[in-house]
């Protein structure tokens, strides 16, 4: 039986977290859950514990990338076979978790990204963000040589080899997004995409929304450029 961890990074998500945790528990009863509370000022941590999830707490807000890498370190230290990453703001539908895990369990992929645009998905982001998503979808698909429809999705699942790889210095903690797919490709990992359902954020915010769209586009172009300029040897994974 594979050990599966559902990682939920959260920042001031006490109101949304019960729905997310209960949905994840119902979708995959045999999995463990851990919430990484990234310095919340509300009751996020207390809610996680009250609903039976594991909890790792940052003393201050360190940002989304650091929060999820903390979760990866937690998973690696406890020898999980697979990790599913789902946001704490209620945007990701936990019913899609099994769809993400299928290619990992059958050893068809090392990393699976959930696409809100496959299989007739009706998710419609704001115009500025939609333009940015299209730009990076085309750019990343061209670089990795595989057609991908949702390169900025944070709804992901991956195996132990990727967990181990992400714990290292190569992971872009500053703002991990489309550039992660390029790093994985250059390291030799197999990437797959599966349809998932996503909802508009109930609170009108998310952990990703602190960056204005133009700054986000600038930041991602810069990160992708740095990734491409680095020697492939720096991205190559070590054999376990």
Q: Cα dihedral angle (209, 213, 214, 215), rounded to 10 degrees? A: 20
d(CA 71, CA 67) in angstroms, rounded, equals 7
Instruction: Please compute Rg for the chain using Cα positions.
Output: 17
The distance from CA 81 to its chain's CA centroid, rounded to whole angstroms, is: 16
Domains and CATH numbers, the chain: 4-235 (3.90.550.10)
Among 59, 84, 61, CA closest to 71: 84
CA-nearest of 115, 118, 86 to 20 is 86
The CA distance from 70 to 66, in Å, is 6
The pTM assigned to this predicted structure is 0.87
pLDDT by residue for the chain (240 residues), tens only, comes to 789 999 999 999 999 999 999 999 999 999 999 999 999 999 999 999 999 999 999 999 999 999 999 999 999 999 999 999 999 999 999 999 999 999 999 999 999 999 988 866 566 666 666 677 778 889 899 999 989 999 989 999 999 999 999 999 889 888 788 889 999 999 999 999 999 998 876 554 544 444 466 776 777 778 778 777 775 555 555 655
What pLDDT is recorded for position 133?
74
Q: Are 205 and 89 in contact (CB under 8 A)?
A: yes
What's 27-71 look like in SS3? Answer: HCCCCEEEEEEECCCCCHHHHHHHCCCEEEEECCCCCHHHHHHHH
């Amino acid at each position: 039986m594979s050990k599966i961890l559902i990682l939920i990074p959260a920042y001031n998500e006490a109101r949304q977290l019960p729905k997310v945790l209960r949905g994840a528990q119902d979708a995959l009863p045999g999995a463990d859950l851990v919430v990484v509370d990234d310095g919340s000022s509300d009751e996020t941590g207390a809610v996680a514990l009250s609903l039976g999830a594991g909890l790792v707490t940052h003393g201050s807000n360190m940002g989304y990338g650091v929060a999820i890498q903390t979760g990866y370190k937690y998973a690696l230290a406890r020898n999980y076979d697979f990790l599913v990453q789902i946001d704490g703001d209620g945007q990701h539908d936990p019913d899609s978790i099994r769809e993400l895990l299928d290619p990992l369990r059958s050893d068809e992929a090392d990393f699976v990204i959930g696409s809100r645009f496959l299989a007739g998905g009706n998710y419609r982001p704001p115009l500025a963000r939609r333009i940015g998503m299209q730009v990076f979808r085309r750019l990343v698909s061209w670089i990795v040589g595989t057609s991908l429809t949702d390169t900025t999705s944070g709804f992901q699942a991956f195996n132990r080899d990727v967990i181990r790889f992400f714990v290292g210095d190569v992971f872009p903690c500053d703002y991990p997004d489309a550039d992660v797919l390029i790093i994985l490709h250059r390291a030799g990992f197999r990437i797959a995409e599966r349809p998932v359902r996503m909802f508009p954020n109930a609170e009108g915010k998310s952990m990703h929304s602190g960056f204005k769209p133009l700054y986000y586009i600038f930041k991602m172009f810069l990160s992708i450029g740095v990734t491409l300029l680095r020697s492939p040897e720096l991205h190559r994974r070590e054999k376990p």
